[in-house]
Amino acid sequence: MSGWVDRRARLWAAAAAIGGIVLLVVTKLVEDPDSTFDDILLELVESLPVIITSVGLAILFQVTQRQHEEQMALIRDLDVARVQGQRWRSEARLLIDGLGKAMDEQFTRWNLTQAERDVALLLMKGLSVKEVATVRATNERTVRSQARTLYSKAGLSGRAALSAFFLEDLLAPADATVRGAPGEPRTPERPRSTIQ
């Protein structure tokens, strides 16, 4: 659409310039019917700064108007996105709270310490071992040890299995034969791997 608006602005500017030139020629001929071509040309050259300024102002007005319209459309889109985001958060709040509670209960079943719980959550958020160590104000060796311990307690092979344990059913429908009966805890079937 902006190409069309730019073309329209150029057309208006050209029309204004041509109209200004024609008006100047007509005015000169009306004032002095004996004017020669050189007189009219000299008058046009003298009036050229005014014509260029007028055309520039017309273009500037069109561009400013287009930018204002685009800004208003963007503000409307942002308001709509903000409202939709707030609606989603309020609708999902119970689900998110429920997932948090379910995760906490599973951590309790696995007998994770508070440090192991913190490491598990940070790893599931996508932080690297180094980043987890920085956030927890500890060293990477400690985080790796806590991660190995939590994977062992949970019977999981690593970070991907930990995330999948909690998030797999949320992201895509799973085959009921793989998932097990509702309410039954899933037992990971993947072999153990090194810490990721």
Q: Are 30 and 60 in the same domain?
A: yes
* Local confidence band at 182 (pLDDT 50, 70, 90 cut-offs): very low
Residue 129, SS3 per DSSP: helix
Q: What is the mean pLDDT of residues 17-41?
A: 75
Q: How many domains does the chain have?
A: 2
Q: Are 119 and 61 in the same domain?
A: no
Q: Are 29 and 56 in the same domain?
A: yes
- What's the chain's length in residues? 196
Q: Are 141 and 58 in the same domain?
A: no
Q: Which two tokens stand for residue 164?
A: 């999948």
User: Is the per-residue pLDDT at 29 higher than 90?
Assistant: no
Q: How many CB atoms lie within 10 A of CB 122?
A: 19
Q: Which of 71, 95, 119 is the last residue of a domain?
A: 95
Say which residues have a Cβ less than 8 Å from residue 168's Cβ, sequence separation at least 6: 174
CA-to-CA distance for 42 and 154, rounded, in angstroms? Answer: 92
CA-to-CA distance for 95 and 135, rounded, in angstroms? Answer: 27
> What sign for the dihedral angle of Cα 135, 164, 159, 142?
positive
> What sign for the dihedral angle of Cα 56, 62, 67, 72?
positive
Say which residues have a Cβ less than 8 Å from residue 17's Cβ, sequence separation at least 6: 51, 54, 55
pLDDT, tens only, 53-73:
877 787 788 888 889 999 999
User: Is the per-residue pLDDT at 19 higher than 80?
Assistant: no
Q: Is residue 100 part of a domain?
A: no
CATH number at residue 169: 1.10.10.10
Q: Is residue 21 part of a domain?
A: yes
Which pLDDT value is given to residue 36?
79
Q: Are 87 and 64 in the same domain?
A: yes
Q: Could you tell me the residue range of the domain that residue 118 belongs to? A: 110-196
pLDDT, tens only, 90-118:
888 877 788 888 899 999 999 999 999 99
Q: Which of 47, 70, 95 is the last residue of a domain?
A: 95
